[in-house]
Structure formats: structure tokens, C-alpha cells
Amino acid sequence: MKTAGIDSDIRKVVASILDEGKADLVIGYAAGSLPFRTTPHFARTPEEAQKLVWNPLCENNLARYLTKFKGARVGIVAKGCDVRSIIGLLQERQIKRDDLHIIGVPCVGVVDRKKVERVVADNDITEIEFDDGALVVKTVDFEKKFPLEEVVHDTCLECATRNPLVYDTLLGDKVSELENIDEFAEVRKFMAMSVDERWEYFRREMQKCILCYACREACPLCFCNECFIDCTNPKWSGKSDKESDVQFFQIIRMFHLAGRCVGCGACSRACPMDVKLWRYLNKSRLDAKELFGYRAGIDENSSPPLTAYKEDDPNDFIK
């Protein structure tokens, strides 16, 4: 797979970070077992660093692993959205800045496999190429070229921090930030529907959910030792396939993320049933902005609105 050639840079940088003892472990991406995938890679030696890659298939938010390595000095290859998650973890004191070596990578978007699969269907993808702002997908029978904007994840189309806000090392040149984007265009469209229409849409979407918890496990900010859904004493909810059980989990998870969700989309990408989770989370991000003037994952020194009390908290919306 041809990429921008950043792979060798990343391997050199990580090898020297490990060599110089700046980190005990660097979390990055390696080529996946399928042409269309990458996979998280844990490099502990310069030799292991030689497997690292960076390209628009690097869809996982690796910040999710940081809370597993508390106390160790960890390097992490982080896109703009991943760094927003890291800022969230720093705000909530789940990790220490001094323990981290952030290798920031400017990013113009990660490919949404599901968008490509809609076109390619069951035809096996045999090769991927990145050709000057386009994704070339080859199968046995045909080749198709997609402009990157057509196949990147929806969150990437509205990304506010394509360049990581915080980093120790920056790899590659900075990219231009998106201008004049309304992060919440889709949400506003949704809000224009009637309550009944919105409920029906939500209900049908959640019927796809099988309560596998991939969304929770992929999310860097779902780090609770015991998730509310697993608590038996008191038992907050059942875990069956009843609509109410599924909706309860999803709604409460979203509320627990309200004001904290950075909009990285990792949950949606992890979901095996293609539930459009991040659209609802995006609504909570809109609320955080409009009600509290707050955007998650931007300023390490601020706090999510629902976790901190301020005398001058806006409250005109409380009727």
C-alpha cells in the first residue's frame, strides 16, 4: 500500500524515543491482517518500532489504552481527535502529562470502512492505495477511486482539530484546518424533525444494537472500573434485548459522556452493527456548546461542565 512515506519517519522517531528511554512503550499502528485494516501496535523496542505505519486507515483511538498503563511512561501516536481524548483524560486526572510522550500526527481524516463497503459489498479488497487525496480500492474484478472526502468518517468532515492541539513530537507537516464548517449541521437537521419523528428514528436505530459494549470499550472516556450497566447492587437495568434495556444503556452512556465526549467517532467505528451512535453524542456536544459555552477536549485547564461547579454557571435554561 503506497502512502505519503511517513512510515519510515514514524519508525525512526519511535525507535529513538525508546532508545533514549523517553518511554517504556509506544502505542501506534501497524499494518492489519487485511489490506483494508490497521491494528494497534505496542512497541517496546526499536525493532518492534519497525512495524509502525501511519495512513488514513489508522482509525482506532489509541488513547483508549492509556488508562491501562497508568504509572508507566507511554508514548502514543495520536491524531487530532485522539489528542482531544487525551486532553479529556488529563482534565479528569486519569493520566499524568509527564508520563506521556505524544507523537502528534496531523490528519485529514480516517477512512470509514463501512462507507467503502457499501459500494464494494462483499467483493474482497485486495489492495489499497492513497493517491494524492484519493483512496484507490482494488478488488479482483474492479478498481475504484474515491475522493477522500467521500469515504472518511463523518466526524472527520467536521473535525475542529486536524492538527493535534498538544504534542511532544509532531510528525509530518501541519494541515490546514477546516474552515466554515458547521460541526452540528447533521444534528440541526435532526432537531428540525418532530419529537415523534425523532423518537421513531432513535428507536429504529437502537433496534440494531446487540449490547456488545464495543462502543464503551472503544471510548477513551469510558474508563469506569465498574460500568453502571454491570452494577448488580443496586441493579440499574436489565441487559436483555428488550428495547427499554438497550435504550437505557445507550441513553445513560450518552448522558455520562455529556460534556465530555470529544466527537472522535471511535464508538461508531467499533460498532459491529453499524449503529449511528456518534450522531446522538454529537447532540450532547451541541448542548454543551450552546448551554455551557464549552467544547470538550480543547483546553487542558478547563473542566467538563457536569463535573465542576462554578458560581457563574449558566442556568438560564433551568425553568
Partner 1 sequence: MGEKNPYIPYQTRINNITIENEARDIKTFELVFIDPEERKQFQHRVGQFAELSLAGYGESPIGIASSPLDEDYLQFTIKRYPDGVVTSTLHNYEIGDIVGVRGPLGNCYPLDLMEGKNVVIIGGGFAFTTLRATIRYILHEKNRSCYKNITIIYGARSPGELIYKDELKQWQQRSDIEVHITVDKGDAGWSGKEGFVPAIAAEVAPSSENAIALVCGPPIMVKFTIPELTKLGFAPEMIINSLEMRMKCGIGKCGRCNIGDKYVCVDGPVFSYAELLRMPQEF
Partner 2 sequence: MKTDNRIISKQDLNKFLDELAADNTVVAPVKDEAVVTFQVIASVEEVHWDAVNTRESPKKLFFPRSEKLFAFTKQSDRLDVKTPEPADRKMILFGVRPCDIKSFEQLDRIFCNEAYTDPYYARRRENTAIIGRGCITRRSTCFCDAFGIDMLDGTGADIFLIDLGENVFIAQILTEKGKALIEGKKYFKEAADTEIKALEERRNKVGPAAEFSVDLDRIKANLEQIFESDIWDRIHERCLGCGACTYLCPTCHCFDVDDEAKFSRGERIRNWDSCMYGLFTLHTSGHNPRPTQKERWRQRLMHKFNYGPNRTGDFLCVGCGRCIIHCPVNIDIRQLLKIVENTQLEQAQSKT
Under 8 Å between Cβ of 298 and 84: yes
Shortest distance in whole angstroms from residue 239 CB to partner 2: 5
Q: Which three cell numbers stand for residue 157?
A: 468532515
The yes or no reply on residue 42 touching partner 2 (CB under 8 A) is yes
In this structure, the number of other CB atoms found within 10 A of the CB of residue 55 comes to 19
The yes or no reply on residue 232 touching partner 1 (CB under 8 A) is yes
Q: Which three cell numbers stand for residue 45?
A: 523496542
- CB-wise, 176 or 232, nearer to partner 1? 232
* Chain residues 214-273 in contact with partner 2, contact rule CB under 8 A: 214, 216-218, 230, 238-242, 269-270, 272-273
- The phi, psi pair for 271, rounded to 5°, reads -60, 120
3-state SS, residue 76: strand
- CB-wise, 231 or 308, nearer to partner 1? 231
CA 270-188-185 angle, 5° bins? 65
Among residues 70, 97, 118, 203, the one that binds partner 2 under rule CB under 8 A: 118
Shortest distance in whole angstroms from residue 242 CB to partner 1: 17
The yes or no reply on residue 180 touching partner 1 (CB under 8 A) is no
Q: If contact means CB under 5 to 8 A according to the sort of partner, which of partner 2, partner 1, none does residue 273 touch?
A: partner 2
Q: For residue 53, list its beta bridge partners.
A: 29
Amino acid at site 55: N
Q: If contact means CB under 5 to 8 A according to the sort of partner, which of partner 2, partner 1, none does residue 177 touch?
A: none
Among residues 235, 236, 255, 272, the one that binds partner 1 under rule CB under 8 A: 235
The yes or no reply on residue 39 touching partner 2 (CB under 8 A) is yes
Q: Which residues, including other chains, have CB under 8 Å from residue 261's CB and lie 6 or more apart?
A: 221, 254, 281, 284, 285, 296
Q: If contact means CB under 5 to 8 A according to the sort of partner, which of partner 2, partner 1, none does residue 19 touch?
A: none
Segment interacting with partner 2 (CB under 8 A) among 10-18, 212-220, 255-263, 289-297? 212-220
In the numeric block, the cell 424533525 is attached to 193
The per-residue b/e assignment along 200-220, b for 16 or more CB within 10 angstroms, e otherwise, is eebeebbeebeeebbbbebbb
Q: Which three cell numbers stand for residue 278?
A: 456518534
Binding stretches for partner 1 (CB under 8 A):
232-233, 235
Binding stretches for partner 2 (CB under 8 A):
32-34, 37-42, 60, 64, 114, 117-118, 121-122, 124, 126, 208, 210-214, 216-218, 230, 238-242, 269-270, 272-274
